[in-house]
Amino acid sequence: MASPKIKLNNGVEIPIVGLGTWQSKPEEVITAVEYALKEAGYRHIDCAWAYDNEKEVGEGIRRSGVPRSEIFLTSKLWCTHHNRVEAALDETLANLGTDYLDLYLVHWPIHLNPNGNHPKFPTRPDGSRDVLTDWKIRDTWAQMEAVLAKGKVRAIGVSNFSERILEQDLLPYAKVVPAVDQVELHLYNPQLKLVEYLKSKGIVPQAYSPLGSTNSPLLQDETASALAQKYGLSTADILLGYLVAKDIVTLTKSVNPKRIKSNIEGALAAAKKLTKEDIEKLDGVAASGKQMRLIQPPWGVDLGFDNWPVRVQGRN
Ligand code: A2P
């Protein structure tokens, strides 16, 4: 089933449902991507350098036989690469076996020491993450704007950026407003204020971990399950359709063919069936005591998100 598209702020169209690839093992992601494109109608694949599987995603795309021009392909700049955006992008393009991306995102608003003790997660002697706290995110963004101007990517955006970081550190300096902000969005972390803010700025919200990631507590949620019963759908369908109905680009991860297919079909079916009242009810679930962030790397830096205590690895 083909996913409807929505327009980004530069006119580029993005399919509202995409296949996520975080935590997909390299040997599994080839067939997952191939199947998603060839058999399940996906035309949008979300990847990242840091997922350590870009080469296999590229292989899956090639095996699918679907022309590159029909696929919306996203990848992300890793934290140790903020000082060399174009070189990092070139590595990603080579990994994926393509000469352009549809969307390139700054993965986190954090620059980790590129000369530290680890290529991906450098740490200080006390075990805390080796964040370059003086780095200005605007300097990363200027390089993102440069690769956009060169035509190596069709759109640029951010991920894990809070309203505060966008307002204080990025938008006042940006020539190009980010096309998207990809953040953790799901029934238990709906970030209603952030979503409203992003929409007011013309920034499309993208949901990662829409099902609550691995071993999700969301799949047992009573409100979502009741709606699933009411509409003859699965709870996963309701969780995904809830986001799609709110015009949130939804990146759903699976390496299982049945679930890959049912997720796109179910998301679109549920988005059509859910009423305004259903959405309001679902919007209220987190606030009724279920609020839960599932993805909280211990950066040791205040990223400006609600419900995110700053934890410093090795200290608290
Ligand atoms: P698997 O890849 O084995 O299908 P999220 O999209 O929030 O990141 O969640 C992904 C997690 O949910 C993965 O563990 C994935 O496992 C599992 N998953 C994906 N689709 C479904 C589904 N329809 N029902 C239950 N679990 C699912």
- 45-56 pLDDT tens trace: 999 999 999 999
Q: Is 107 annotated for ligand binding? A: yes
Q: What pLDDT, on the 0 to 100 scale, is given for residue 312? A: 45
Q: What pLDDT, on the 0 to 100 scale, is given for residue 118? A: 97
Domain boundaries, the chain: 5-314
100 is catalytic: no
Smallest CA separation from ligand 1 atom 10, residue: 213
- Residue 316: pLDDT band (50, 70, 90) is very low
Distance from Cα 214 to the centre of ligand 1, integer Å: 7
Average pLDDT, the chain: 96
Quick check: 31 and 57 in contact, CB under 8 A?
A: no
Q: What pLDDT, on the 0 to 100 scale, is given for residue 1? A: 73
Instruction: Please give the Cα distance from 94 to 49 (Å, whole number).
Output: 11
307 φ/ψ angles, rounded to the nearest 5 degrees: 60, 35
For domain 5-314, which architecture applies?
Answer: Alpha-Beta Barrel (3.20)
pLDDT digits (tens, 9 = 90+) for 183-216: 999 999 999 999 999 999 999 999 999 999 988 9
Summarize the confidence of residues 148-156 as an average pLDDT.
Answer: 98
Q: What pLDDT, on the 0 to 100 scale, is given for residue 310? A: 55
Ligand 1 site residues, Cβ closer than 6 angstroms: 20, 209-214, 216, 219, 236, 252-256, 259, 262-263
- Residue 307: pLDDT band (50, 70, 90) is confident
Q: What pLDDT, on the 0 to 100 scale, is given for residue 2? A: 83
Strand pairing class (156-159; 180-184): parallel
Q: What pLDDT, on the 0 to 100 scale, is given for residue 137? A: 98
